[in-house]
Amino acid sequence: MRTVEALPQVHEAAAQALLGLIASGETPFVVRGLVREWPLVAAGLASAQEARSYLSAHARAVDLPYSVAAPDQGGKLFYDAQMAVNFQMASGRLPDVLARFDAPGDQPTVYLGSIDIHRYFDGLHQANHVPAVPDDALASIWIGNATRIAAHNDHPRNLACCAVGQRRFTLFPPDQFANLYLGPLDVTPAGRPVSLVDFDNPDFSRHPRYREALAHAQVVDLQPGDALFIPSLWYHHVDATAPFNVLVNYWWRDTPRYLGQPQTAMTHAIMAIRDLPAAERAVWRDMFEHYVFSGGEDARAHVPQAGQGILAPIDARTAQRIQQFLLRSLSQ
């Protein structure tokens, strides 16, 4: 087996190049010390308690959602033997949730994942942000003790900033999805299908293609202040290794949000097309290529522009009309 320590390191880039790299980057890179001057980073370097106090001081007086897994799960938010998620959801005010990290005895895994900073905090974003990311990027915070998050990908581009603790990312290119043995699309720990491979102790008799995935993997260890750029659809397995960890990330798309989520389209295609007879599936495959994957130019070239409808490039108004049509169709 190829150990994580033997994997190629993610490329390091200079902070001055960040703006250009995130606009065109198709491969991961790390910027050391990009957010080292954040007050949140300074608080965490002083102590975990100082970081928790800093976060509590900025939290709004509203309940936040979080996950709790039993101590015997070893920090892994995953599935149980029956393929149900192995954690429970709860909610509470941030100071009360953070107090759980100081509780005596065996610690459960406490994980606040993808918490919208603008919705749940006052002033935190203004004091701790990266100006180079697009203005409409979704800013989220991730807080927890030592956790292991199975490899998954995201549609948006991602700039992940380690604020407190340490994190190890193991990354795989998008074309390795079959070699990661992804789980179900509809029952997932956090909304995206995750790898069923145990990265700490892979069973190559059950998951032989994972060896090929490892041949394409890269790894990076983030310290407080470091930032990692993850391109769209790159898979990442994340180990938060300190007793208390905080990450701030930014997600943004290169296309307008009104275009919808490709995952939704694939889920519907599984329901509507996958179980058709093979000959019919072949026809639909060709039609998808003609109308979708080709970019659609040939599909609309012979249609007068005024009558192209959905075949034309989609704007916000057209997208709204298509969404309404789909809602009517799915409700029938």
Write down all domains in the chain, each with its CATH number in brackets.
Answer: 4-254 (2.60.120.650), 259-330 (no CATH)
pLDDT above 70: percentage of residues in the chain: 98
5 has a pLDDT exceeding 70? no
Q: What is the DSSP letter of 231?
A: -
The Cα 156–Cα 25 span in angstroms is 13
Nearest to 54 by CA among 95, 91, 92, 103: 95
For 45, other C-beta atoms within 10 Å of its C-beta total 15
The owner of tokens 């905080």 is 246
Cβ atoms 228, 160 nearer than 8 A: yes
Band (97; pLDDT cuts 50, 70, 90): very high
Token pair of 131, please? Answer: 């100006």
Q: List the 29-31 sheet strands across, edge first.
A: 11-12, 29-31, 227-230, 157-164, 245-252, 138-144, 109-116, 63-69, 88-93
pLDDT in tens, 152-166: 999 999 999 999 999
Q: What is the DSSP letter of 32?
A: T
- Higher-confidence residue of 281 and 106: namely 281
- Whole-number pLDDT of residue 24: 80
User: Where does 8-98 show beta strands of DSSP type E?
Assistant: 11-12, 29-31, 63-69, 76-77, 88-93
**Three-class DSSP category at 1:** coil
Per the confidence metrics, is the pTM higher than 0.85?
yes
Q: What confidence tier does 106 reach under pLDDT thresholds 50, 70, 90? A: confident
What pLDDT sits at residue 15? 93
- The mean pLDDT value for 66-87 works out to 96
DSSP secondary structure, 113-146, as one string: EEEEHHHHBSSHHHHS--TTS-TTPEEEEEEESS
Q: What 3-state class would DSSP assign to 76?
A: strand
Alpha carbon distance 229, 153 (integer Å): 13
The CB-side HSE value for 41 (13 A sphere, CA atoms) comes to: 20
CB environment 242-271: b (16+ within 10 A), e (fewer): bebbbbbbbbbbeeeeeeeeeeeeeeeeee
Burial of 157 (0-12, 13-18, 19+ CB in 10 A): buried
Q: Specify the pLDDT at position 71.
A: 94
- Tens digit of pLDDT for each residue in 278-300? 999 999 999 999 999 999 999 99
User: Residue length, the chain?
Assistant: 332
Nearest to 187 by CA among 80, 109, 90: 80
Q: What is the pLDDT of residues 126-139, one digit of tens each?
A: 999 999 999 899 99
Split at pLDDT 50, 70, 90, the class of 25 is confident
Distance in angstroms (rounded) separating the CA atoms of residues 35 and 250: 13
